Amino acid sequence: MKRVLLTVVATFFVAFTFAQQDEVNVRLLKKIDRLEGVEVIKYEKGQAGFEDFFELAVTQPLDHNNPDGETFTQRVFVSHRDKSQPVVFVTEGYTARYADNPAYANELTRYLQANQIVVEHRFFDESVPDSLQWEYLTVANAAADHHHVVELLRNIYKKNKWLNTGISKGGQTATYHRFFYPEDVDVTVGYVCPINFSREEQRIYPFLQNVGPEGCRQKIKNYQDYMLENKKDFLPIFDYLVEKKGLTYSMGNEAVYELVVCEYPFAFWQWGEDCNAIPGPKTMAKDAVKHLDEVAGFDFFAEESKAAMQPFFYQALTEIGMYGYDFSIFDGKITACTDNTFMFFMPEGADTTYNYQTMRDVDHWIQNDAEKVIWIYGEYDPWSAPAARAEGNDKVLKIIKPAGSHKTRIRNLPEEQKNQIFDHLELWLSTPVYRDVFK
């Protein structure tokens, strides 16, 4: 039935695109259709230099240690340019909804003029099993998902050079994929991705006490104190704004207000906010509270965000690590909140045991055995505190952008650092880098 349906679909597209004086790549469509456990959900003509664009549903075992057990389908997007070009394999850490666009191209895809594959992470968005058995949401199973997709699509891109990459949690995912399956790709590029050693990553605390200009840090602390000391006056404004946004909190508004104040410096440095915009004691109350939302986000702890973000927090609190908040620096001003570790996000009934071993193994691999890997960080991004400890490994490259944030990318690096990366990519991939695509 599947083959008949796809034949009809292909015939329709041929007729349609001939009318548009453009031809569907029927040969490629048939090759993908022959891949076991792969269903073509959508085909379109490509944009942004791509010839073809596919959305695929790939059947994956829920537990790769039990391949004959329960399965789910994982959403994968393929943007085909040319069979002679490299493949950029994007290991998303969350949803891949943004890639449902024939014009989407990762920056490395542009620099390499490459084919592109984007894989949605298991348990997110459209890649969710019928039953959420949380114990199977592991780093090892996610890496095995990516390994299986690589094995399948190597039937299309047999002789190509492959590079995997991701941003933030996606960069962690790319790193883990390479750790478990070092031969799957030739090069890995991980952006702004931490390698945390515990559920509450301790390196974050001294980092926040020393990051950036001292005057800016003091303004942040003064603002936090101001928001906590005037909590009774500011809470009604907070209540009004969250009601207007349709947000609710299981722990109550006052506790969440305190947590958002605690979150403020992490968010501030993560996203590279402006020190001059930090409210002072003469700022109107409504503007001071509104600024808190603009930087730290009232939706971060909301029940309305929980379903979409719960898979992330499950992974963070059981295997890949997170951060917490130091209540002690506020001299008793935190009175309503008692949990600084995000455990309230854990799914009901899930095993909350933290697995320390995976990140220890990954860290050992980074320091000793990893090769042809590039990690890119922003100096002021708190996630650079637990950055990959790669300094002693001359087979990899670690770049830290001066004063950079979580928005650090190759295209916004200083020229010298940018060229370091380009030189390594050309050496490791034996393919040209088109260095001026963003100029």
User: pLDDT of 126-151, one tens digit each?
Assistant: 999 998 999 999 999 999 999 999 99
Question: For residues 249 and 239, what is the distance between their CA atoms, to the nearest angstrom?
Answer: 11
For the cut 60, the answer to whether the pLDDT of residue 17 exceeds it is: no
Residues whose CB is less than 8 angstroms from the CB of residue 168 and which lie 6 or more positions away in sequence, other chains included = 93, 191, 192, 193, 383, 406
Question: How sure is the predictor about 340, in pLDDT bands with cuts at 50, 70 and 90?
Answer: confident
Question: What are the pLDDT digits (tens) for 254-308?
Answer: 999 999 999 999 999 999 999 999 999 999 999 999 999 999 999 999 999 998 9
pTM equals 0.93
Question: What are the pLDDT digits (tens) for 193-214?
Answer: 999 999 999 999 999 999 999 9
> In the prediction, which pLDDT does 26 show?
87
Find the angle CA(237)-CA(242)-CA(245) to the nearest 5 degrees: 130
What b/e readout covers 59-79, taking b as 16+ CB neighbours within 10 angstroms? Answer: ebbbbbeeeeeeebbbbbbbb
Max CA pair span of the chain: 72
Tokens found for residue 163: 């590079």
Instruction: Please give the helix or strand (H or E) that residue 365 lies within, else none.
Output: helix 357-368
For the cut 80, the answer to whether the pLDDT of residue 22 exceeds it is: no
Q: How many of the other CB atoms lie within 10 Å of CB of 12?
A: 12
Amino acid at 169: K
Question: For residues 256 and 234, what is the distance between their CA atoms, to the nearest angstrom?
Answer: 13
- Give the chain's domains with CATH numbers: 35-197+358-429 (3.40.50.1820), 204-345 (no CATH)
Tokens found for residue 104: 């989407």
> In the prediction, which pLDDT does 2 show?
40
